[in-house]
Amino acid sequence: MVIVEGIPGSEKATLSRYTHDILNIHKMESELFLEGNLLHPADFESVACMPNQELDKLRSIYFDVFHYVDPFVSMYGNDSLIAYELANQSAQNGIPSSLYEEIRRYEIYDGVSVEKYCDLMIKRWKSFVKVQREKENMMISAYSTSPYFYCPTKCSRSSIKQSF
C-alpha cells in the first residue's frame, strides 16, 4: 500500500498517477484512489452521519424511494453513515432533491464533533488497512486528510500501524 499524503496542491494526484502507471508498465496490479473518489475506501467524501432516529423519520416520510438509499447505509452505534452521493448516482438521480438535501445536512465533514470525526476516521482507517492487508495487488492513494493530522491526540501513528 502506498499513501501519498500532503497539503492541497502538493501534486499528490500527479505522483500517485505516475506510481500507478509505473507499476502497470511493470505488470504489477494496482488500484488508484484519488481524493474525491466516491469509492475511496478510507475517505468520507459525500457521506453523512445521521442519528438513527432521524434516519427512521426520513425512511417513513420517503418510504416510496428509500430503497435507493438503504444499500448505502451502514450502522455506527446510534448513528448511520450514508453514502448519499453514491446512492444518488446509483438511483440515476431518482432520489428527490428534498431527501438528498435532508441527508446532506448531516455531511460528516461539516456536521460532526471533532471527537466523533476522529473516532469515525480511526475506525475507517483501521478497517481500510485490514482489508488492504488481505489483497494481493498494490493500492495507491492520494490523501490530504489522514487521521494523524486531524486527530493527533487520539490517533498516533503507532495506533494505526498496529493494524498492519
Tens-place pLDDT, residues 3-56 = 888 887 888 889 989 999 999 899 888 888 887 777 777 778 899 999 999 999
User: Who has greater pLDDT, 87 or 120?
Assistant: 87
Percent of the chain with pLDDT over 90: 40
Could you tell me which residues come within 8 angstroms of residue 126 by beta carbon, excluding any fewer than 6 positions away?
160, 163
DSSP label of 70? G
Give me the chain's average pLDDT, please: 83
Binned at pLDDT 50, 70 and 90, residue 146 comes out as low
Mean pLDDT of 90-104: 93
**What does DSSP say about strands 73-76 and 48-51: parallel, antiparallel, or unpaired?**
unpaired
The pTM for the full model equals 0.74
User: Who has greater pLDDT, 127 or 37?
Assistant: 127
Binned at pLDDT 50, 70 and 90, residue 157 comes out as very low
Q: Outline where DSSP puts E strands in the chain.
A: 2-5, 30-33, 48-51, 73-76, 79-82, 138-143
Among 50-54, 127-131, 138-142, which is the least confidently predicted range? 138-142
